[in-house]
Amino acid sequence: MPTGTFVVSTSRARQFIDITSMVQEKVAASTIADGLCHLYNPHTTAGLTINEGADPAVQSDILAALQRIVPLDRYQHLEGNSPAHVMASLVGSSVTVFIENGRLQLGTWQKIFFCEFDGPRSRKLLWRIT
Ligand code: ZN
């Protein structure tokens, strides 16, 4: 089955990066026209989510809300990046999208986002089409 990795370079401490087109390229290049596309993020301070991609203000609003939900102090973890660990758990580490006729079946306004919470870093994502 088609499988591989993406490298995502982030430039800010907290950032959403639209990876929809790179995922769609792998789907289009695969021989599986109808199936599932799985994405997995193997990092503890980053995540994956699907949400609105039409208005960039939505991404900013989600990041701002996560920062209001997750206080930036009062943690035991000595590395000092516990807010990033908490945010990563809140958004989750994987997404699965249906594929039909070689196309990701996202909603009209949906995009797939890599969510950086402890950047900037070079990150790796795993993908598999079944
Ligand atoms: Zn840590």
CATH number at residue 33: 2.60.120.460
Number of domains in the chain: 1
**What is the 81 CA–ligand 1 centroid distance (Å)?**
5
Edge-to-edge strand ranges of the sheet holding 110-116: 15-18, 110-116, 46-52
Q: Which residues of the chain have pLDDT under 70?
A: none
What pLDDT score does 73 carry? 81
**What is the 108 CA–ligand 1 centroid distance (Å)?**
36
**What is the 83 CA–ligand 1 centroid distance (Å)?**
9
pTM for the predicted model, two decimal places: 0.96
Q: How many helices (H) and strands (E) does the chain have?
A: 3, 8
**Residue-number span of the structural domain to which 54 is assigned:** 3-129
φ, ψ dihedrals at 56, nearest 5° = -60, -20
